[in-house]
Amino acid sequence: MEFDSEAVARVRRLGGDDLVRRVSTLFIETARLRMTDVRGGVAADDLQAVARAVHSIRGSAGNVGALAVLRCATEIEQAALGARAEEIPALVARLEVAMAAAEGHFGTGQP
C-alpha cells in the first residue's frame, strides 16, 4: 500500500502525533460509513449516491496520504459521474482492498 508520508508530516506539524492518530482514526471510521453508502448506491443503481460517497472518501484519503484509496475513489467517482455503471463493481472491489490495507496500516500505529 502506498502512503504519502508528506501528508502525514503536514498533519503532524499542525498538531503532533495525537492529531495524526485522531485524523487517521476519523478517516477509517468515516470511510467505513461512506463504503456502506457506496455499496448501497451500487445496489440501488444510484450513481449520484456512489459519486457523493466516494468523493468524501477521496478527500479524507488525501488528508492522511492513503494514495491507493485516493486513486480508487477517484476512478469510481469518474465512472459514476460518467454514467459508466458497468465499471463500478470491479472498482469498488479494488477500493475495498485498498481500504483494508489502509486500516491495517493505521491500525498498527503507523501514521
- pLDDT of the chain along its 111 residues, tens only? 588 989 989 999 999 999 989 999 999 999 999 999 999 999 999 999 999 999 999 999 998 999 999 999 999 999 999 999 999 999 999 999 999 999 998 875 555
Q: How many other CB atoms sit within 10 Å of the CB of residue 110? A: 10
Distances in Å between the Cα of 12 and the Cα atoms of 17, 24, 30, 93 are 6, 11, 20, 31
The whole-angstrom separation of Cα 85 and Cα 104 is 29
- Reduced to 3 states (helix: H, G, I; strand: E, B; else coil), residue 45 is coil
- Reduced to 3 states (helix: H, G, I; strand: E, B; else coil), residue 65 is coil
Q: Using one digit for the tens of pLDDT, what is the confidence trace for 2-32?
A: 889 899 899 999 999 999 899 999 999 999 9
Query: Domain coordinates of the chain in residue numbers?
Result: 5-107
Predicted local distance difference test score (pLDDT) of residue 106: 84
CATH class of 5-107: mainly alpha
Q: How many other CB atoms sit within 10 Å of the CB of residue 50? A: 26
pTM: 0.89
